[in-house]
Amino acid sequence: MNAMGQLQTLVNGIVLGTLYACLAVGFSLVWGVLNIVNMLHGSLIVLGGYITYFAWHSYGIHPLLALPAVALLMYALGYVVQLLVINKVVHQPVLVTMTLTFGLDLILYNFMTVYYTATPRRVTLDLGATVIGGIAIPFDRMLGMVLALVLTGLLYVVMRRSRVGRAIVAVRMDSAAAALMGIKVNRIYAITFGIGALMAGVTGVIFAMVYPVTTNLTGIYLGKAFVICVIGGLGSVQGALVGGIVLGIIESFAGQFFGPQHAITVGFLLMLVLLVVKPTGLTGIKGYE
């Protein structure tokens, strides 16, 4: 392959990677802070996508306008689910918490499939594409990438600068000590899960502009979130960004060399190897068991 083609693949990979970062950052936060693998994540992304699609298709609302509404709605949903359901078992063994979120995922998935059916739908904005120095970049992906970066950056700022963000980080480090300092841990858990759901929802909005919306993709999104967390390390925005971009580039090149159907396999294999060799991820921030 010539150099130009390589560069195109690289750029595609980076664009894909920023979308992946946005996909995984909420999942990574929930896992890092609550120590819960949120099996609902994929379905929440698709739910965000459906809301966007129907707002656009039935009422003509532009996805960019729908985004804040979806964000609020998903935050509320996540907050309530955590407060009423998951908080009751948050300190139980992995088997219990993981099975519970999987159960919730089955319920959400089932209702989405029955009400929306699995027919792929897509918000087509027809923005065209631009060519910079011989490299084609479609505008809808570009928009997605910018949005993903802005939202991920926003989360980073919130975690760093705001009181809630500092409280979340404190709980992540040591929940018992945080409780002694007067932080209401259960509320922080609910807020964190809410943010996780929010990020899943906005990812859904972005993906609805780029990919088809269908319940068939929930498992694939969830799988990507696993892989990215393992690559980048848990519970940090930087980790998700690194993991997302690395996976994006790897998938892009793997698709080029082995064919697109093997891109996912390569990602999973990489994850298995990393899990065994370096479970803290490439960024080296220590993961929590």
**Where along the sequence are the contacts to other proteins (CB under 8 A)?**
31, 35, 37, 85, 88-89, 93-96, 98-100, 102-107, 109-111, 113-114, 219, 223, 226, 230, 261-262, 264-265, 268-269, 271-272, 275-276, 279, 287, 289
Residue 105 or 251 with smaller CB distance to other proteins: 105
Distance CA 197, CA 40 (A): 9
CB of residue 114 vs other proteins: minimum separation in angstroms? 5
* 131 Cβ contact list (under 8 Å, min separation 6): 137
Give the phi and the psi of residue 130 in degrees, each rounded to 5: -120, 155
CB of 262 to other proteins, least distance (A): 6
Residue 111 or 257: the one with the smaller Cβ distance to other proteins is: 111
* Pick 93 or 133: Cβ nearer other proteins: 93
Place of tokens 């300190």: 91
Give min distance, CB of 287 to other proteins, in A: 8
CA distances (Å), 171 to each of 13, 30, 44, in order? 34, 12, 24
Q: In a 3-state reduction of DSSP, which class is residue 131?
A: strand
Q: Which is nearer to other proteins, 80 or 264 (CB)?
A: 264
Instruction: Give the residue with the Cβ less far from other proteins, 4 or 107.
Output: 107
CB 263 → other proteins: shortest distance, Å? 10
Whole-number Å distance between alpha carbons of 289 and 186: 20
Question: Please, are residues 212 and 121 in contact by the beta-carbon 8 Å criterion?
Answer: yes
What would you measure as the largest C-alpha separation in the chain, in angstroms? 60
| Closest CB 25 distance from other proteins, rounded Å | 17
Tokens of 81: 């689910």
Nearest distance from C-beta of residue 256 to other proteins, angstroms: 16
Of 56 and 116, nearer to other proteins (C-beta) is: 116
Q: How far apart are CA 93 and CA 96, in angstroms?
A: 6
